[in-house]
Amino acid sequence: MITIQLPTALRTFTDGQADLQFEALTVEAALCQLTEQFADLQRHLFDDNGKLRSFVNVYLNDEDVRSFDGVNTSLKDGDVLMLIPAIAGGRETPRT
Amino acid sequence: MNSSTILDAVGNTPLIPIRYHGNGAKIFAKAEFMNPSGSVKDRAAKAMLLRGIQNGKLTNNNAILDATSGNTGIALAMFGAVLGYRVVLCLPSNANRERKRVLRAYGAEIIPTSPLESSDGALLKAKQIAAENPDKYFYTDQYNNEENWKSHYNGTALEIWEQTEHKITHFVAGMGTSGTFIGTARRLKELNPSIKTVPMQPASPLHGLEGMRHQASVIPSGFYDTSLLDGQLDIQTEDARRTTLEFAKENGLFVGISSGANILAAMKLAETLPKDDLVVTILCDSGFRYLSDEMWD
């Protein structure tokens, strides 16, 4: 089981839920399950070609998944994914 | 001996004619990135601090406190350094590294807030700190401080009015606190009620237009006034980024992404208007504040 933490900006599309649990082996699979369950999120997270929008950063346990294998990064039980708008740039982890 | 400070350099920015591919109205942009700390926020920051000094709320015994996504913080930090005040800022931790580095360079103290909660998280944190420590801080409260919008009512709007020789027909700008938009729009409409004032808004609550806020999904500022909104222009972050890159090549202006969004909104509007109309928008800050972003590569 992994957890996806959503920014407040997107919680109107998940009935106010901030943390959502899924069974997924990769970041991509987790995001797919998220948008399958909450279809309105699709257009906010992905562009018309189905690509994750460039300003949406996905952090895996506080590290940008781009520093691993991007959306193909493997997940293990207990992992936490955070969806954070890159307020224009930088790749610092959200903790800094 | 001249006793002026850098605060005297705030405002009176150039109004620059903009080239674009279209046959509609003329577009001019107010070069707010030429303010001393590098953004439009210098106007509100200066006004809020001077009022605080004037009414005795900002003293040598307290520190300046506010919530910011970056630019207001940089302005407060710069002016705090000039005037000799300590500056404490609540900043979402996903604000970009340029902003954090500049803030630290001016000696400001940063209190990081949850990136999940964006600008609202910073706002609530600053409010809480101010409430718990009323003697320790002068809370500028840019989201509710009347000096914010008044700095544009008394400055930006009048400058635009004079610089366009009273010919402005439309004003377009994005909204963060909404101070720039509300103050400028209110005065322009008083000067000429036929002027249309149109807000630019991020197309999604989740966006990458730094400093801009999707008003429908955030805590509104105390002075937000929907009666001043003549419609609305929604801009996608990707389109704003593309415009920002083209704008540097075609107009020689290296500006930030929110400025690119304003320019795109102005172009969309101008294309629907006759040639004699004159659209004015705001260049909020410089592209140098976003250099760590990969969009420039």
Place B1 in a pLDDT band, splitting at 50, 70 and 90: low
Residue A13 lies in a domain: yes
pLDDT at B215: 86
Return the bridge partners of B226, or none: none
Of the three residues B107, B139, B171, the one that is the final residue of a domain is B139
Q: Does A8 touch chain B (CB under 8 A)?
A: yes
Alpha carbon separation from A9 to A47, B11, B86, B205, B294 (Å, rounded): 18, 33, 32, 5, 24
Block residue for tokens 């346990």 = A61
Q: pLDDT of B117-144, one tens digit each?
A: 888 899 999 999 999 999 999 999 999 9
Which of A54, A52, A11 shows the shortest CA–CA distance to A30? A52
Q: How far is A25 from chain B (nearest CA, A)?
A: 24
Is residue B205 within 8 A of residue A12, CB to CB? The reply is yes
Torsion of CA B119, B124, B129, B130, to 10 degrees: 100
Domain membership of residue B162 as a residue range:
6-37+149-296
Is residue B74 within 8 A of residue B81, CB to CB? The reply is no
Q: How far is A15 from chain B (nearest CA, A)?
A: 14
Residue A59 lies in a domain: yes
Residue B1 lies in a domain: no
What percentage of chain B exceeds 90 in pLDDT? 84
Is B118–A53 a contact, with Cβ atoms under 8 angstroms apart?
Answer: no
pLDDT at B4: 85
Is B208–A86 a contact, with Cβ atoms under 8 angstroms apart?
Answer: yes
In CATH, what number is assigned to the domain containing residue B155? 3.40.50.1100
Both B56 and B199 in one domain: the answer is no
What percentage of chain A exceeds 90 in pLDDT? 68
Is B238–A54 a contact, with Cβ atoms under 8 angstroms apart?
Answer: yes
Report the pLDDT averaged over residues A32-42: 95
Block residue for tokens 């919680």 = A11
Residue of A nearest to B216 (CA): A9
Residue B174 lies in a domain: yes
Return the bridge partners of A82, or none: A5, A59
Both B158 and B275 in one domain: the answer is yes
pLDDT at A11: 93
For the cut 80, the answer to whether the pLDDT of residue B2 exceeds it is no
Q: How far is B90 from chain A (nearest CA, A)?
A: 13
Kindly calculate the radius of gyration of chain A based on its CA atoms and give it in whole angstroms. 12
Both B104 and B46 in one domain: the answer is yes
Block residue for tokens 């107009």 = B251
pLDDT at B96: 80
For the cut 80, the answer to whether the pLDDT of residue A87 exceeds it is no
In CATH, what number is assigned to the domain containing residue A79? 3.10.20.30
Alpha carbon separation from B275 to B24, B93, B186, B211, B219 (Å, rounded): 5, 45, 25, 31, 38
Both B97 and B225 in one domain: the answer is no
pLDDT at A89: 38
Place A90 in a pLDDT band, splitting at 50, 70 and 90: very low
Place B84 in a pLDDT band, splitting at 50, 70 and 90: very high
Is A90–B292 a contact, with Cβ atoms under 8 angstroms apart?
Answer: yes
Q: Does A72 touch chain B (CB under 8 A)?
A: no
Of A18, A87, A96, the CB nearest to B208: A87
Of A43, A89, A94, the CB nearest to B293: A89
Which pTM does this prediction carry? 0.93
pLDDT at A93: 41
Residue B144 lies in a domain: no
For the cut 70, the answer to whether the pLDDT of residue B287 exceeds it is yes
Residue A55 lies in a domain: yes
Contacts of B98 in chain A (CB under 8 A): 89-90
Residue B26 lies in a domain: yes
Burial class (CB in 10 A: 0-12, 13-18, 19+), A76: exposed
- Amino acid, res. B293: D
pLDDT at B296: 83
- Best residue in A5, A67, A84, A87 for a mutation probing chain B (most B CBs within 10 Å): A87
Q: pLDDT of B219-277, one tens digit each?
A: 889 999 999 999 999 999 999 999 999 999 999 999 999 999 999 999 999 999 999 99
pLDDT at A66: 87
Both B23 and B160 in one domain: the answer is yes
Q: pLDDT of B15-24, one tens digit each?
A: 999 999 989 9
Of the three residues B101, B119, B139, the one that is the final residue of a domain is B139
Is residue B266 within 8 A of residue B198, CB to CB? The reply is no
Q: Average model confidence (pLDDT) for chain B?
A: 95
Q: Provide the domain count of chain B.
A: 2
Q: Does A49 touch chain B (CB under 8 A)?
A: no
* A94: helix, strand or coil: coil
Q: Provide the domain count of chain A.
A: 1
Q: Does A30 touch chain B (CB under 8 A)?
A: no
Q: What is residue B152's DSSP assignment?
A: I
User: B44 — phi, psi (to 5°)?
Assistant: -65, -40
Residue A41 lies in a domain: yes
* Element housing B149 (H / E): helix B146-151
**Residue, of B148 and B93, whose pLDDT is higher:** B148
Residue B68 lies in a domain: yes
For the cut 60, the answer to whether the pLDDT of residue A61 exceeds it is yes
How would you classify residue B107: left for phi > 0, otherwise alpha for psi between -120 and 50, otherwise beta?
left
Kindly calculate the radius of gyration of chain B based on its CA atoms and give it in whole angstroms. 18
Which of B106, B207, B200 shows the shortest CA–CA distance to A43? B207
Q: What is residue A74's DSSP assignment?
A: B
Of the three residues B86, B113, B139, the one that is the final residue of a domain is B139
Both B126 and B202 in one domain: the answer is no
Domain membership of residue A68 as a residue range:
2-85
Of A10, A82, A96, the CB nearest to B206: A10
- Amino acid, res. B280: V
Burial class (CB in 10 A: 0-12, 13-18, 19+), B215: buried
Of B69, B98, B204, the CB nearest to A44: B204
Minimum mean pLDDT range among A38-42, A65-69, B199-203: A65-69
pLDDT at A62: 79
ipTM of the complex model = 0.82
Taking CA B66 as the corner, what is the angle to CA B121 and CA B240, rounded to the nearest 5 degrees? Answer: 65
Q: How far is A47 from chain B (nearest CA, A)?
A: 9
Both B208 and B280 in one domain: the answer is yes
Both B184 and B292 in one domain: the answer is yes
What percentage of chain B exceeds 70 in pLDDT? 99
Both B250 and B157 in one domain: the answer is yes
Both B135 and B51 in one domain: the answer is yes
DSSP string, B253-281: --B-HHHHHHHHHHHHHHTTS-TT-EEEE
Both B228 and B291 in one domain: the answer is yes
Is B121–A8 a contact, with Cβ atoms under 8 angstroms apart?
Answer: yes
Both B157 and B291 in one domain: the answer is yes
